Amino acid sequence: MKQLSVFLENRPGRLANLLKILEENKIKLLAMGIAEAGNYGIVRMIVDKFEKAIEVLRNANMAVNQADVIIIDLDRLTEVAKLFGELGINIDYAYSMNDNKIVLKVDNEENAIKILNNKGIKFIA
């Protein structure tokens, strides 16, 4: 699954502007996490129209990056975190999603996917 990271100046109204752009372009926000980094914030999100979101946000002069993430059921998080820890996969960060899901960014997605497949754990990648 592809995630967008948008870097915003950490001041009032910047997040509202980002959300307004998505709404005006009929891009649905499926998950979002925000991390503060001094004068800037990193808004990580999953959207329903990934390519369109990149285009409209870049056209609005926003710094946008993409990353691969894995989505699992929230009730499997303890099991998955333990499994990844035992097998040397680091969870860099996580944030929750609607429908009892959680988004995970790991340091080795290929191995993480193999592990999940081998254990029969459902995921979206």
Domains and CATH numbers, the chain: 2-65 (3.30.2130.10), 70-119 (no CATH)
Are the C-beta atoms of 95 and 44 separated by less than 8 Å?
yes
- Residue 98 confidence (pLDDT): 84
Phi, psi for residue 123 in degrees, rounded to 5: -160, 165
Beta strand spans in the chain (E) = 2-9, 29-37, 40-47, 63-68, 70-73, 91-97, 101-106
Give the separation between CA 22 and CA 8, rounded to whole angstroms.
Answer: 15
Give the separation between CA 20 and CA 14, rounded to whole angstroms.
Answer: 10
Q: What's this model's pTM, rounded to 2 decimal places?
A: 0.90
- Residue 36 confidence (pLDDT): 86
Whether residue 38 has pLDDT greater than 90? no
